[in-house]
Amino acid sequence: MRAPTLVSLSGFYAILISLITLNIQSSIAADYISYTNSDGETLQLDTNREPSLYTRDYGDCQGDSVITVTRFDAAYYKDNMTITFHLGGYTAVANESVMMYIGVYAYGENRFNLTFDPCFANIRSMCPINASVPIEGNGIIPIAPADVAGIPDIALSIPDFEGQAILRIFGNSTQSQIACYSAVLTNGHTFSHPAAVGSTVGVFVAVAFISSIATAIYGQGLQETRKHYAHSLSIFVVFSVLQHVFYTGALSMNFPSALPAFWSNFAWASGLIHSAAMQNSINQFVGNDRGNISSLGSATSGETAVNLGGGYSLSSIYKRTVEKRDIINSTSGFSWYGNVVDPGLPLPGNYSSFAGTLAELHIPASNAFLTGLVWLLILVAIMVGFVVVLKTLLEILAASKIMKTDRLTFFRRHWIYCAGVVVLRLCFIAFFMMTFLSLFQFTIGGGSGVLAIAGLVFALFLIGMLGISAYALWYRLSGQRLRSDRDRLQLKSNLSWTRASTVGAAEDPRKTIASLPWRHLYFKDSLERPHVHDDDDYLIKFGWLSARFRRSKWWFFAAWLIYEFGRACFYGAAAGSPLTQVFGLLAWEILSLFAIIVMRPFESNRLNMLMVYFLGFSKVASVALCSAFDPRFGLERILTTVIGIVIIVIQGILIICMMIAVVVGAVSSWMSVRRHKENFHPTSLANTRTKYFAHIEQKATDKPLLKPQPVRQPSASEEPKEPYFSVTDVRRQTKIEDEDPQNENKLGADEDLRTSVDANRTLQSRPQSRAPSMRSRNSISNLPYGARRHRASWSTKDFASAEYDPEQIPSGMQSRMSIDSFRDTNRDSIGTPSRKRASSLRQSWTNDPSLVDIANAPIDHPSTSYRSRHRASQSMSQTQLQSRYVAEEEPTEIRPSTGAH
């Protein structure tokens, strides 16, 4: 065979390239359309591009429609001002000419409507409709800007656009509606992202679960383990937050579309997860008796909705001039469409009550109870399996010497008990969910089998959980007496409520804003048993109920069950009475919030902050705002959407706070399980770890932490303060000895010298050593009543003036004798009464004759000019008396008078 030449090969490649290029051009031509805008520019538009507005799922809004629609979708393209529609179905009518009406409603108002004859729109399968011809119609209808002037631009970008597209078909022979279908409108933007948001929240829930389990099984002693377990983030608190967010949609209100979309991200935490296989099985069990959700305000698919979209007017439809709308292009590759809704779901675009919230999950309201029950049983089986796997893994690690054999001994020895505790704890967490779903099933009705199971589950949870709680209380309180003391409830500046009896005396009273009278009820234990937190027997039996609460509020688990049961009654049993439900629940939440704030039951500050304040405020605010959604209030749908966004913000902040608490709880749990390690990593948290352990010990006492008062350090220039007092005035009163005629002249010169004070004298700088009143000698006397004063001391000049030789007087006598002694002795010689001297002095005098002569010598008295029967009161200036210094005292000399008598 001859080898191919170069020319033949090049020709082959040219043909191949030409074919490929032709195929690419044909594919481009098939995927794009040309459009010339108002500016004359030609644009290439993708035929499968996302429309500005388009329909999703649809449902039958007339129970006896003679046309069964198997496909209904419409889309609005703003870029080329066209509407694309697809319609498919069949009918049993032999021959009927029809008129079609499409209305677009946004936020409760008619924004666009189009009435046309299918014969004028080139829909041949409906011109007329015939039972032998399947209905098939599609096309692109150009519209003018005036046709969509009622649709604002914000509607094309706002999340969860609230709108409906309603297709009505009228028979010309009877001029009556023979078919009605409603589809929900969307712009593609939504708050519903279960895959992303739900998965992210699920990771945080898993972290919280691991942290809680780790602190519960780690440790040697039950009491120490309880302290650290109480400060880890409770999985019970996490699920309470998530269930609150989702079950807000159980109120029988007409919600804006944004709220059910947002709540759908947290439905998995409430036991409502859509599974097509599960829903098909439940549908077979439920049968055709699906209850009555119309009593909740929902418009059920497959039933006649009289006022859907505000109703219609036949006269306006048939009197309207029908314009011919030519189809400029046909397409069958449109992918932006929905499906017919499942039986039991409300009409698409209707978000009333719990049925509208569940419709976002594609779960009928009649299946909600069984769906939650099945997923709860699955979760229980998973958790029991987790305990078994954990036990097996720990034993393998211990046997292979990877883990020390004495680690986690309590869990490894009592793993069956731990599995039972896990099941009971799950039932405690799911108490509200199951009681509410049971009561909700009773409200909407259903088959006898479903109602029987709902009654059994309701009884098990109500009697079982309340019975266990009552037994836990009786087990501890039996033998105790209930006491009641008067007290006051104080509102502190940090918005916390505290009983006055628990406030220390050192606390600043200005921190109290207001107070109310209160009664403190408590049980007095006559057996003096240890507290429940210190009782190993009670911790083993009921620690799964009481371990996280304060010492004084260990019984709070019973109060919480009562509170949750009240919520379940309002949500489930009162679902058929919207106003009673919402306002009764609002009052219940407000009273409960007030009581829980007063108690602050959790030992951990994080749990109190998250569970009491953030969750409590979110519950009250959400219910209060949702009360505005009742249709009887006539609130505009745009305003209800704004309120819905506010609710999303409040609950979104709550979710973020919960995530932060999970992260902080994970760090604190890591510290707890590493509490026996001296070296802690990271080292930057070593001081925080020490403070955290001290905080745990202090909170375990359930006593307020008294902050030490700051000690004021004096400055360098400031002198230390000492005790002092000031005297502003000194007065001397007349004494009895002043009136004695024999004592009037005794100390004339001495008294003048001692009582004369210079008011202008500058005080010395010596520190004050005694009080100012002590410096007044006139006010000092230790003499008994009626006694006479004597001269204070002698001086050598006194002896010189008396012409006695000082050398004859012993030195000891010179310092001890006084002139008064000589006067007394002299007076004794003439018979005047005198005081007796000490025996030692009398002996000294009698042994020395010269001293006897001195004593008998006469003493000159002062002149009468010194007499003062009534001395004037003397006062000193306040400046001198308040001075911190006193002048140095100079020795005074008392000279005897030399005048003759």
pLDDT tens-digit profile of 532-556?
888 888 999 999 999 999 988 999 9
For the chain, first and last CA: distance in Å?
184
Residue written as token pair 């039932």: 427
Longest dimension (CA), the chain: 184
From the centroid of its chain, how far is CA 303? 45
Q: Element (H or E) spanning 84, and its range?
A: strand 82-91
> How much is the average pLDDT of 667-694?
86
Residue 466 pLDDT more than 90?
Answer: yes
Please give the pLDDT value at position 841. Answer: 47
HEC secondary structure over 446-496? CCHHHHHHHHHHHHHHHHHHHHHHHHHHHHHHCCEEEEEEEEEEEEECCCC
pTM: 0.72
pLDDT tens-digit profile of 204-256?
999 999 999 999 888 778 888 999 999 998 999 999 999 999 999 999 999 99
Cis peptide before 145 (omega within 30 of 0): no
With beta carbons less than 8 A apart as the criterion, state whether 75 and 84 touch.
Answer: yes
Please give the pLDDT value at position 513. Answer: 77
Please give the pLDDT value at position 385. Answer: 94
Residue 659 region, left (φ>0) first, then alpha (ψ -120 to 50), else beta?
Answer: alpha
Region of poorest pLDDT, from 618-627, 740-749, 861-870: 861-870
Tokens representing 709?
């008062």
pLDDT band at 377 (very low <50, low <70, confident <90, very high): very high
In angstroms, the CA 285 to CA 279 distance is 10
Q: Which residues contact 435 (CB under 8 A, 6 or more apart)?
A: 458, 461, 462, 564, 565, 568, 572
Which range scores top for mean pLDDT: 127-136, 321-330, 428-437, 760-769?
Answer: 428-437
Report angle CA 342, 348, 351 to the nearest 5 degrees: 115
Q: Which residues are paired to 76 by β-bridges?
A: 53, 83
With beta carbons less than 8 A apart as the criterion, state whether 750 and 790 touch.
Answer: no
> How much is the average pLDDT of 336-355?
84
pLDDT band at 827 (very low <50, low <70, confident <90, very high): very low
Tokens representing 71?
């496909």
DSSP calls for 155-166: GGTSTT--EEEE
Reported residue count of the chain is 901
Q: Which residues are paired to 102 by β-bridges?
A: 114, 167
Region of poorest pLDDT, from 555-564, 612-621, 879-888: 879-888
The pairing of strands 135-142 and 82-91 is: antiparallel
In angstroms, the CA 202 to CA 382 distance is 16
- Nearest CA to 896 out of 787, 756, 783, 793 is that of 793
pLDDT tens-digit profile of 761-792?
444 444 444 444 444 444 455 656 555 555 55
Please give the pLDDT value at position 457. Answer: 96
Burial 471-485 (b: 16+ CB within 10 A, else e): ebbeebeeeeeeeee
In angstroms, the CA 289 to CA 298 distance is 17
pLDDT band at 348 (very low <50, low <70, confident <90, very high): confident
- Nearest CA to 835 out of 823, 853, 817, 845 is that of 823
In angstroms, the CA 453 to CA 780 distance is 102
Q: Which residues contact 412 (CB under 8 A, 6 or more apart)?
A: 391, 394, 395, 398
Q: What is the mean pLDDT of the chain?
A: 77
Residue written as token pair 């439940």: 282
Which range scores top for mean pLDDT: 315-319, 624-628, 711-715?
Answer: 624-628
Dihedral sign (CA 888, 889, 891, 897): positive
Write down all domains in the chain, each with its CATH number in brackets.
Answer: 13-43 (no CATH), 50-189+310-319 (2.60.40.770), 194-266+290-300+347-403+411-445+455-479+527-700 (no CATH), 719-754+765-772+791-861+878-901 (no CATH)
Report angle CA 504, 507, 511 to the nearest 5 degrees: 130
3-state SS class at 876: coil
Helix axes 556-568, 448-477, angle to 10 degrees: 160
pLDDT tens-digit profile of 499-528?
777 765 556 666 777 777 877 666 666 567
Tokens representing 835?
């005081």
pLDDT tens-digit profile of 145-178?
877 777 777 778 889 888 888 888 888 888 888 8
> How much is the average pLDDT of 558-572?
95
Please give the pLDDT value at position 797. Answer: 56
